Every structure is written in C-alpha cells, then in structure tokens.
C-alpha cells in the first residue's frame, strides 16, 4: 500500500444548488477543539456525503471518498471532513500558485445566501485549505486580466490528522469565520459576523485530489451541479450553485 505526503503549497475545489439542496445545522453546545480529532461536540451532527463529481475522472473508493459534518456557534461555522485519499500531494511551495492542483479542502461560503457572481468580488468566498494550512481565494481582477490571489489564513483555523485505524483516511477539522460582502482585503478593520439562529448561509464543500500529476485528477463535492456547456466547475465563479444552510438551535 502506498501513502505519499508531498508538502509545499495550496489547492482549490467545490459545488451545489440552493434550489435543490438545503439542510439545518445545529448549534454546538460546546465548541469543538480544532485538533483533527472527532470529540464529543460532533456526536449529534449528522454525516453528509461528498460524492458528486465535478472535474476529472470519478475516483474509486480507495483513491478518494469523503463525508462531512457541520456545527455552528456565534463565532464560527465548524466543518469536520473525513477524507480517504491514498496519496496526499502538495507540490507547490508558493501557496498562491496553482493551489487547485494540489490536494485541498474547499469550503464555499455565501454568508447571506444571496447567490450571484463572486469570482473577483467578496459576494461569496471559495476558501481553498491547503495541506500546509494556508487558505487561498481569488481577489480583484488585475490590469493584465488575471485574478489577484489572496491568502486569508485568519478566516479559517484548521487541522488535519491521519486516523490511526486507517492510514489512508484523515479527519480535517475547520472553524470558519463569516464575512459579508463589504470585506476589504486592504483594510485592517474587517469584522467577522456574529452568527445567530435562523440565519441562512450559502454553502458547498469539495475536495481537490491529485496523486502527483501536473493537474488535479479528481474534484468531488457535496452537491450536484447542473453543467453549463458540459462544465460543472462553477462554484468558484457563482454562488448560485451553492446549497443553503439554516442555523438552528
């Protein structure tokens, strides 16, 4: 059995449709400890699958499979992902370079579930969590037509750890702050939102899987996406394909 870890960069990926998928998320009685282990705070949260194809071939279960849980409190949306991946690969030392072609967990957040374009705005976020802990997303369009790449490491605290009973499986635990569309990466006064029961949030989760190729080999997500001209990789462009979470007690 091979298990390779190559660290150096970041990654990207995701999917979902608000009119097709909705789920309640329960408030955590005690905040989970972000340590890559499933403590008692997660016991009442249900598992959801990550089995929807977005990019590349559909992987076999040994190559990739995933599922996740969600919780919230006034400060964070919490994500626990259980990922089975036979090769962990992070081949880009620069966390701003081709992060979507490394193994990464991608969390899509539209804090007011308003939908719409977010490719070069902060109407929504597509957080790419790299194996080395960096959090990347696209920012404004540059004069040369390329997107600025932002490191938003303070938006999400994460930790992953291999399961001792299965060396191909990891638990990836994340606490994500939510920001509205007034977020300005050049400002030092951005404030994360205080979450409350009844709030609706656009959400999608995905995983970029690469076993060492030039480009990612698979991109699998939490929600089915209706393709446009055969393309399902739409989550980084528009929040219209996200699902909808409702925060409940």
Check residue 20 and give its pLDDT.
Answer: 57
pTM of the entire structure?
Answer: 0.90
Q: Tens digit of pLDDT for each residue in 93-102? A: 899 999 999 9
Residue 3 has pLDDT above 90, yes or no: no
Check residue 4 and give its pLDDT.
Answer: 38
Spatial separation of the C-alpha atoms in residues 14 and 225, rounded to whole Å: 10
pLDDT confidence band for 57 (50 / 70 / 90) = confident
Spatial separation of the C-alpha atoms in residues 248 and 225, rounded to whole Å: 26
Higher pLDDT, 219 or 63: 219
Two structure tokens written together for 22? 């909705």
């Amino acid at each position: 059995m091979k298990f390779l870890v190559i660290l150096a960069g970041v990654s990207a990926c995701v999917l979902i449709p608000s009119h097709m998928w909705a789920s309640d998320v329960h408030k955590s009685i005690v905040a989970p400890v972000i340590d890559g282990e499933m403590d008692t705070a997660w016991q009442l949260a249900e598992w959801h699958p990550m089995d929807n194809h977005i990019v590349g071939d559909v992987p076999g279960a040994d190559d990739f499979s995933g599922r996740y849980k969600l919780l919230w409190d006034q400060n964070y949306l919490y994500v626990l992902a259980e990922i089975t991946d036979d090769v962990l690969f992070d081949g880009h030392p620069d966390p701003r370079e081709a992060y979507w072609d490394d193994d990464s967990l991608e969390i899509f957040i539209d804090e007011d579930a308003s939908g719409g374009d977010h490719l070069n705005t902060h109407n929504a976020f597509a957080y790419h969590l790299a194996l080395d802990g960096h959090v990347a997303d696209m920012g404004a369009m540059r004069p040369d037509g390329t997107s600025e790449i932002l490191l938003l490491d303070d938006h999400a605290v994460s930790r992953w750890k291999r399961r001792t009973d299965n060396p191909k499986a990891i638990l990836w635990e994340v606490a994500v702050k939510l920001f509205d569309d007034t977020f300005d990466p050049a400002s030092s006064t951005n404030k994360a939102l205080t979450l409350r029961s009844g709030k609706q949030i656009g959400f999608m989760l995905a995983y970029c899987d690469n076993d060492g190729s030039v480009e990612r080999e698979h991109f699998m997500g939490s929600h089915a996406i209706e393709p446009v001209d055969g393309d399902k990789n739409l989550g980084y462009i528009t929040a219209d394909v996200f699902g909808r979470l409702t925060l409940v007690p």
